Structure 1
Amino acid sequence: MNFFKKILGNIVPSMKEENSSDKNESKYLPEPEIPVDELFTFNFKNNGGKFIYCENELELQEYFISILQENDWFEKEAITFEKKLHPFLIENRIIFHNVVDPVFFLCSCESLIADDGSILFSSHQLLHHKSNELPKDIIVIAKTSQITRSKSDGLRGIKYRYSSNIPSNITTLQNFKEVINDNFLQYGIAPKNLYLLLLEDL
């Protein structure tokens, strides 16, 4: 999984070139399947997401602080619904109790979907809130082991993890940039400015 370090600057720019470079291969052979980690990273960045790979917990904390510095979010208000993420906010003097005007939303996720570069959430991260009820700016903390190839794989993972207590409000986000052309499929969908801090755990 350490391939992330090599591709951050020019993420899979030549996938098509690599697939078509060997002209001697039979056209009837199936195309080689792109690894899920490469596919997710390519599609996520293509959707407009901001991707930061972290080799360890120390890097995770450092990059989180860098995001706060970049956006001048120190001593501002934020929201999170996950107790395990409170230390990130407490250590950086971010107010998250009795919040009136949060500037960003901090959360984890259920899985990262490679096929379309989306992120799968449930009520464990969002409670009952819809995406348009959340701040425009979002920081997601996830692990490399959470990458799955398809939404079906992600849903199976939820069923496996929670067994008979399946969470509600299962949804995905994948719109992380402004739509330039008129696309009726995007009407009513407000894009999010989303940072993904991806921690290596494999």
Structure 2
Amino acid sequence: MYEAKSKEIVLRRVREALAKSAPFLPPTPDFSSPLHLPSEDLSVEFAEAFIRNSGLFVYCENEEDFFDQLFALKREQNMQYLHVWEPNLQNILYQAGIEFTAGEEDFIQNAHASLTTCEALITRTGSILVSSANAGGRRLTVYPETHMVVAKASQLVPDIKDGLQGIRDKYKDNFPSMVSLVSGPSRTADIEKTLVMGAHGPKQLILFLIDDLPH
């Protein structure tokens, strides 16, 4: 249900973008410009790449829509333990009446699902840039079977270098000890070329993208 809705939104935006006139191309190349030229709507390009990476993309019109979609998905997938360790996320989920697990007791045994924020969304690769700077640290992005991320459209950046520069600007001399790119669920085909999901991390990666950009 969520994937179908998200794909419909992406396709609608792609059609709208294609209906516009093509941009003017300069006669000579600008060698100082980046190699990757993002589309006008970064969210469309990111969503397409994210879905190709086997991620579940959930478009949210606003924060209230995010609460509704999270509540419905949590109930649909019967997530008994949703680990949320970031105080800002805990506060808004508490206000929205969504149950979560705030403590770390029995985390390994009950690592069903987690919800975290992220540093940036990398449009070119459809990847999520995370770091150890938030309260979830490394564990909430690796151990749970389902890793859910909530981000805002304003966090979209064209390429990896833009995301890393954003982290440098944000943390300055206190650069996080871990910075990682998450590109879809963990998977491997090392054994007899059979694709196995969740081999070294979450089996499912879900992104809630809240549209906070002016229209």
Q: What does residue range 32-43 of structure 1 map to in structure 2 within 5 Å? A: 33-35=38-40, 36-43=42-49
Does the alignment pair 1:196 with 2:202? no
Matched residue type, 2:43: D
- Structure 1 residue ranges without an equivalent (≥5): 1-5
| CA-CA distance at 1:33 after TM superposition | 4.8
CA RMSD in angstroms, aligned pairs only: 3.7
Check 1:71–1:156 CA distance in 2 against 1; reply closer, same or farther (3 A cut): same
Matched residue type, 1:37: S
The separation in 1 between residues aligned to 2:116 and 2:201, in whole angstroms, is: 18
* TM-score under structure 2 length normalisation: 0.71
Matched residue type, 2:82: A
| CA-CA distance at 1:32 after TM superposition | 7.5
- Structure 2 residue ranges without an equivalent (≥5): 30-35
1:83 aligns with: 87
| CA-CA distance at 1:95 after TM superposition | 2.8
Check 1:176–1:112 CA distance in 2 against 1; reply closer, same or farther (3 A cut): same
| CA-CA distance at 1:55 after TM superposition | 1.4
Does the alignment pair 1:167 with 2:167? no
The separation in 1 between residues aligned to 2:67 and 2:171, in whole angstroms, is: 28
Does the alignment pair 1:151 with 2:160? yes
Check 1:29–1:51 CA distance in 2 against 1; reply closer, same or farther (3 A cut): farther
Matched residue type, 2:137: L
SS at match of 2:148: strand
> CA contact under 8 A between 2:57 and 2:208: conserved in structure 1?
yes
Equivalent residue pairs, number: 186
Q: What does residue range 84-99 of structure 1 map to in structure 2 within 5 Å? A: 84-87=88-91, 88=93, 91-99=97-105
The separation in 2 between residues aligned to 1:200 and 1:182, in whole angstroms, is: 39
> CA contact under 8 A between 1:81 and 1:127: conserved in structure 2?
no
1:11 aligns with: 10
Check 1:160–1:183 CA distance in 2 against 1; reply closer, same or farther (3 A cut): farther
1:3 aligns with: none
Does the alignment pair 1:103 with 2:112? yes
Identity %: 26
